[in-house]
Amino acid sequence: MLKNIPAILSPELLKTLCEMGHSDRIIIADGNFPAESMGKNCKVIRADGHGVPELLDAILQLFPLDTYVDKPVNLMQVMPGDTAKTPIWDEYKKIVKNYDERGDSAIGQIERFEFYEQAKTAYAIIATGEKAVYANIMLQKGVV
């Protein structure tokens, strides 16, 4: 057992976060994200039964966001014409603001298919049970 480590972070996820270097990216994916097919060349970590917001909060307690890029946090942009609502993004903004002084300005959006392409080059993908749509979030690691 370790002290001050959020219980939601599995040993496998902790190891992965520690292994990552500056500018490596990790995706916390919703339950609809094709994690296994996108993650053929990276680590896929299962976090079934957990949602993205609680994992995001736990990870950002330990994970420095990249200060050398404008948008170290990126969301999958809603497709034009899609009427899906994204209230979960408001939760993300609050969480990011707690850990990065840039707040909302640290968060960008990537077009859906470009997000998939970038996911293929991520260091890791965390597959969650999140039911919200467009709840995928990409984090780029900075330095301590």
22 is catalytic: yes
User: Is 116 an active-site residue?
Assistant: yes
Task: Name the 3-class secondary structure at 52.
Answer: helix
Q: At 2, is the pLDDT very low, low, confident or very high (cuts 50, 70, 90)?
A: confident
Which CATH architecture does the domain made up of 24-140 adopt?
3-Layer(aba) Sandwich (3.40)
Catalytic annotation, pick one of 22, 68, 82, 104: 22
Domain boundaries, the chain: 24-140
For position 1, what pLDDT does the model report?
75
Which of 6, 5, 12, 31 is CA-nearest to residue 124? Answer: 12
Catalytic residue (one of 57, 66, 92, 99):
66
Active site residue 66: yes
pLDDT in tens, 94-123: 999 999 999 999 999 999 999 999 999 999
Q: Are the CB atoms for 120 and 41 separated by under 8 Å? A: yes
Note the pTM of the prediction, 2 decimals.
0.96
